[in-house]
Chains A and B, each alone.
Chain A
Amino acid sequence: MATGDHTAASPDVELPATLEQLFVERYAAMVRLAHLLTGSNAVGEDLVQDSLARMQRRWDRIDDPVAYLRTAVVNASRSWHRSRRREQRRLRVVAPVDENVGLEARELLDVLDDLPHGQRTAVVLRYYEGFSEAQIAEAMGCRPGTVKSHLHRGLAALREVIER
């Protein structure tokens, strides 16, 4: 059972009318998603704030603010991973330690943090948000076949932790 914020996946849900309403209703959930996508609470929050600030200027042209924000967060985390890879070439970045998380879960999260962005995003959207492959493809802006491939490879890497 998925435990993430997947309200926007339902077509019957009323869309927020203002940016402030979107912030009130979705900010915390989006920060959690961004935290899972980046591995950093602070970075995730910063990415969500920046994504919301971008939306402010083009609010009138956005049909589905929730889906738009989710895609913006996914794209922002991808950009962040790219710039982080450049930084990692120059200095060793120590990943933040998850407090109050069991050893096995921490190992799984460590592997998740090392996954390529595509695989990591697909796993998070599938098992945290509970999205279908089609919904993941829409959020990531790729084909469902690519999502299937990302999920397969990402889970294979995670399975190694379980089977050790």
Chain B
Amino acid sequence: MSPALDTRVREALDARAAATATSPDAWARIGHHGARRDRRRTAILRVAAAAVVGVLALGGTIAVLTRRGGESATVATSTPSGDDTAAAESLAPDGGTGETREAPVDLRISAVGEDRSVTFLRGEEVLGVVSVPADASETAGGWVGPTVFGVAATGATQVRLVVEGVVFTGPVEIFTDPAVAGRVLFAAEGVPAGLLQVESIDAAGNMISGFGISHRG
């Protein structure tokens, strides 16, 4: 580089630099810059936090809705052993597959009063009632005699039992007792132990409701 250019560039830069002025309140302005930066950071953090909460809420809502959708496709399975509580499982609606999954609901069984009815509950919702006839006797591990199942099935005309893919049929009786009105009774002899799919069916053969239980025969 020629000395002339070198010198002239320096002189030009020095001339502009010499004309530079600084504000007397620069130090205070730096504080303002910092405060503004803090406010911006806080605002960004709030927006980011709101976005994260929103995404989590949306994800949670979708998960809950998806789960509820899945529940409608399953039926509860329980063991009517006479205990106040029993482990709950779920069963695929076709009942014959034997596929079991963890039940998404708390299924409770209770034996109440002299009629020894067994009520299947999901929370406070009654899923079905098993009533044991007076001539039946309870032995260790199960019921002896005709086993009677009831399902919440207003409008049902018959009940179908499926045990390990084998279908059992029998007479249907509609409860008239106001306490269990709308429920359908089904009685069948010789139902073997195993996973039992209980379905109520309308005249057209469509399933109205159903649930599965683990039956001890």
Contact = CB atoms under 8 A, between A and B. Distances in A.
Interface of A: 1-4, 20, 23, 27-28, 31-33, 35-36, 41, 44-45, 49-50, 52-54, 56-57, 98-102, 104-106, 108-109, 112, 123-124, 127-128, 155, 158-159, 162
Contacts of A124: 13
Contact of B16 (A52, A54, A98, A123): A98
A44 B20 contact: yes
A49 B33 contact: yes
Interface string B9-24: 1111111110111110
Interface residues of B, number: 28
23 contacts: A3-B13, A3-B17, A28-B20, A31-B22, A36-B17, A52-B30, A53-B30, A56-B30, A56-B34, A57-B34, A98-B16, A98-B19, A99-B19, A100-B15, A100-B19, A101-B12, A101-B15, A105-B12, A108-B8, A109-B12, A109-B13, A127-B9, A162-B5
Contacts of A52: 30, 33
B129 to A, nearest CB: 68
B5 A155 contact: yes
Given A45-B23, A155-B1, A23 B30 contact: yes
A99 B15 CA distance: 9
B9 A45 contact: no
Given A127-B6, A128-B13, A155-B9, 13 more contacts: A2-B10, A3-B13, A27-B26, A32-B20, A33-B17, A41-B19, A45-B26, A53-B33, A101-B12, A106-B12, A109-B12, A127-B9, A128-B10
A70 B37 CA distance: 20
B17 A35 contact: yes
B29 interface: yes
Interface of B: 1-2, 4-6, 8-17, 19-23, 26-27, 29-31, 33-34, 37
A53 B35 CA distance: 9
Nearest to B37: A53
Nearest to A129: B13
B44 to A, nearest CB: 14
A41 B21 contact: yes
A49 B12 contact: no
A123 B9 contact: yes
A49 to B, nearest CB: 5
Contact of A158 (B5, B17, B23, B29): B5
Contacts of B14: 3, 128
B69 to A, nearest CB: 49
Contacts of B12: 101, 104-106, 108-109, 112
